[in-house]
Amino acid sequence: MKFGPHSRTHTQHAFTAFNPLVPEGLVLHSRRNMLKASLAGLAGLSVPGLLKASDQLQLAGKSSLPKKSIILLWMTGGPSHIDTWDPKPDRPIQNRGPFGVTQTSVPGITITDMLPKQAAMMDRFTLIRSVDPKMSSHQPNQVMQTSNLLATPRTNRKGDRYPAMASIVAKHHGANHPGMPPYVSFMKHDSHIAWGGYLGKQYDPFIANEAADLPVYDMVGNDTGKTSGGKMFQFAPGLSFDRMKNRRDLMLQFDQMRSGIDQAGSMQAIDSYSRRAYDMVLGQRVQDAFDLNKESPETRDRYGKHLWCQQALLARRLVEAGSSFVTLDLSYHTASGTWDNHGDNIPPYGGIKNGLGPLLPLFDHLLTTLVSDLEERSILDDVLVIAMGEFGRSPISGTQGSTDGRNHWPVVMSMCLAGGGMNHGQVIGASEHDGSEIKHRPVRPGDLAATIYRYMGVPLDTHYIDDKGRPIFAVENGEPIHELF
Q: Is the pLDDT of residue 193 over 50?
A: yes
Share of the chain above pLDDT 90, in %: 71
| pLDDT tens track for 281-308 | 556 899 999 999 999 999 999 999 999 9
pLDDT score for 56: 57
333 close to 348: Cβ distance less than 8 angstroms: yes
Domains in the chain with CATH codes: 43-484 (3.40.720)
Encode burial over 361-389: b for 16+ CB neighbours within 10 A, e otherwise. eebbbbbbbbbebbbeeebbebbbbbbbb
pLDDT, mean of residues 266-279: 52
The confidence score (pLDDT) of residue 9 equals: 41
Quick one: pLDDT at residue 45?
41
Residue 237 has a pLDDT of 59
Asked if the model's pLDDT at residue 262 lies above 80, the reply is no
Mean pLDDT over residues 424-448, rounded?
A: 98
Report the pLDDT value the prediction gives residue 65, as an integer from 0 to 100.
74
Q: Work out the number of other CB atoms within 10 angstroms of the CB of residue 391.
A: 26
* pLDDT tier, 255 (very low <50, low <70, confident <90, very high otherwise): low
Dump pLDDT digits (tens) for 90-127: 999 999 999 999 999 999 999 999 999 999 999 999 99
Contact indicator for 59, 449 with CB cutoff of 8 Å: no
pLDDT digits (tens, 9 = 90+) for 40-51: 433 334 555 555
For the entire predicted model, the pTM comes to 0.82
Q: Using CA atoms, how far apart are residues 69 and 385, in angstroms rounded to an integer?
A: 9
What pLDDT score does 260 carry? 55
pLDDT above 60 (res 33): no
pLDDT for 399 equals 86
Q: Please give the pLDDT value at position 245.
A: 56
> Is the distance from CB of 387 to CB of 329 less than 8 angstroms?
no
**Phi and psi at residue 282, in whole multiples of 5°?**
-85, -15
pLDDT, position 257: 52
Going 40 to 43 to 47 to 51, the CA torsion angle's sign is positive
pLDDT in tens, 146-165: 999 999 999 999 999 999 99
Average pLDDT, the chain: 85
Q: Is the pLDDT of residue 339 over 70?
A: yes
For 222-234, what is each residue's pLDDT tens digit?
999 999 988 777 6
Cα(393)–Cα(192) distance, integer angstroms: 18
Q: What angle do CA 12, 14, 15 make, to 5 degrees?
A: 85
